[in-house]
Amino acid sequence: MSNIKINPQALEAINNYSIDWDNIGFGKCMAPTMIVADYNNGKWGDLEMVPYGNLTLSPTCKVFHYAQEIFEGMKAYRVDRNGPLLFRPYENAKRFNISAERMVMPTLNEDLFVESVKVMAAHCKDFIPTKTGESLYIRPFMFATEEHLGIKPADQFKYMVLASPSGAYFSSDSITIQIERRYTRACPGGTGYAKTGGNYAASLKAVKEARERGFDQTLWLDSEHKRYLEELSGMNIFCLINGELHTPAMTESILDGITRRSLIDLAKSYGITVHESKMDIDELIAQIQNGSCTEAFACGTAAIITPIGGFGETDGKKYELKESFGPIASKLRDGLLSIQEGRTEDPFNWIVDLSKL
């Protein structure tokens, strides 16, 4: 028995939906249905699947003024018509509640969170792309709906789940990264580890300026010393140095990526040594220049593994990697995707196969 109500109009919207498979892009084509639930008087109301559509909200909802908002990014896979398959959905449920706690928002029962994602993936299964690297991107999120301009934590919220048949996040095979030495995304004691819109808003100016200089993303350094690598906004980072993988150790200003954690386990299972430690930007530059750093890549739910072709500075200095899509990035990408897409054994028990429920 499902805990989620299914509105008959949502089923009608699903039946009448058609999709232009050649133009799905990333996050722009929306599935015809969504899940909504409201939090009032200290408890969650029923979750309901309804047709996808606009919301009517008071302009005084606190989210518009004080940004009390959190979200998750997940994918359902159906390559070779397997599944639908979900990847580690309870990890997203846990992180959602960690973000909720930081942003003074109510938590959602983990089983209910996962059930809401399962219901969306199962009902949208015909809109899940079947080519490798493509998927149904699922976006659970929650925001403050209390109507009041006073600055205090809201007591009314809306939880929603959207889905978007999606292709690659980046249009190129590899990306270039500007080392961000001026702006800061997050700081100790801040919200960097929470998946909240404000962290992404804080990144936009730097990314806009980096794009104007020809880069794809910015590499955030720690706010105190402007020296230690953190993350790339929406993605974590790995570098291959002397044949071993290095990624910044978690701090409270880095988002704890589920893809990052999965890659650490996968790489170790291949016999690759992985270091989670402080990474100094000047040391990394020297390692690129002396050839000991041979590969670097970004990873995240949306980005999967995207190789980094090189880094650069705002003054025009460039540090090119030897390999723009090296063998380790390629092996890990293939290994991860083939587990996620159900094309190989899943020794880690990461996959939830919705066809077997």
Q: What share of the chain is helix, strand, coil (3-state, %, to 5)?
A: 30, 30, 40
> What single string gives the DSSP state of each residue in 328-341?
HHHHHHHHHHHHHT
CB of 147 to ligand COI, least distance (A): 28
Cα–Cα distance for residue pair 226/224, rounded to 1 Å: 6
Nearer to ligand COI (CB atom), residue 73 or residue 198: 73
For residue 158, give the DSSP letter: E
Which residue has tokens 């980096």?
210
Nearer to ligand COI (CB atom), residue 239 or residue 299: 299
Q: Which of residues 233-292 bind ligand COI (CB under 6 A)?
A: 234
In the complex, residue closest to ligand COI by CB: 73
Residue pair 293/321 in contact (Cβ under 8 Å)? The answer is yes
Binding piece for ligand COI, criterion CB under 6 A, among 102-110, 153-161, 299-307, 312-320: 299-307
CB of 302 to ligand COI, least distance (A): 3
Please tell me whether residue 198 binds ligand COI under the rule CB under 6 A: no
Cα–Cα distances (Å) from 205 to 208, 214, 252, in that order, read 5, 14, 22
Please tell me whether residue 302 binds ligand COI under the rule CB under 6 A: yes
Nearer to ligand COI (CB atom), residue 95 or residue 319: 95
Rounded (10°) CA dihedral 171, 93, 52, 62? -100
Q: Is the peptide bond before 84 cis (omega within 30 degrees of 0)?
A: yes
Please tell me whether residue 300 binds ligand COI under the rule CB under 6 A: yes
CB of 177 to ligand COI, least distance (A): 14
Nearer to ligand COI (CB atom), residue 127 or residue 169: 169
Strand partners, 305: 299
- How many residues line the site for ligand COI (CB under 6 A)? 5
Nearer to ligand COI (CB atom), residue 234 or residue 309: 234
Q: Which of residues 222-241 bind ligand COI (CB under 6 A)?
A: 234
Phi, psi of 194 (to 5 degrees): -90, 145
Which residue has tokens 């041979």?
294
Candidate residues 247, 301, 306, 340; the one interacting with ligand COI per rule CB under 6 A: 301
Nearer to ligand COI (CB atom), residue 70 or residue 79: 70
Side chain identity, residue 169: Y
Nearer to ligand COI (CB atom), residue 13 or residue 232: 232
Residue pair 77/129 in contact (Cβ under 8 Å)? The answer is no
Q: Which of residues 46-85 bind ligand COI (CB under 6 A)?
A: 73
Phi, psi of 193 (to 5 degrees): -80, -10
Which residue has tokens 């028990």?
349
Side chain identity, residue 20: D
CB of 49 to ligand COI, least distance (A): 21
Binding piece for ligand COI, criterion CB under 6 A, among 116-124, 143-151, 286-294, 296-304: 296-304
CB of 300 to ligand COI, least distance (A): 4
Binding site for ligand COI (CB under 6 A): 73, 234, 300-302
